[in-house]
Amino acid sequence: MDDIPEERGQELYNKLNSEYLIECAKNNRIQEWNADYLEYLQLEWNRLYPERIGDPKYVEVLFFHYQFRISNLNWEDDSIK
């Protein structure tokens, strides 16, 4: 597996931990978490697939699709454990 992306990617990787997610959720800032996570996913896509320049938009489509949204997860659902 490739190394973690440098600079901004590394900063986001370090920031996107469970404590930050909990803090955002408790303070009604889940959109902030989503924006940071989406940016990280797009940076990773560009790092892993540099030849596929136009494809990061598909990361956003997947990210905002209903089943991938954090706010729609049912933590009691055994299928996601």
pLDDT tens digit string along 46-71? 788 777 766 666 666 666 664 455 55
Amino acid at residue number 23: E
CA 57 – CA 63 distance, rounded (Å)? 10
pLDDT at position 15: 93
pTM of the model: 0.62
In the numeric block, which tokens belong to residue 74?
Answer: 């049912």
> 42 near 60, Cβ under 8 Å?
yes
Which residues, 6+ apart, have CB-to-CB distance to 38 below 8 Å? 59, 60, 63
User: What are the boundaries of each domain within the chain?
Assistant: 8-74
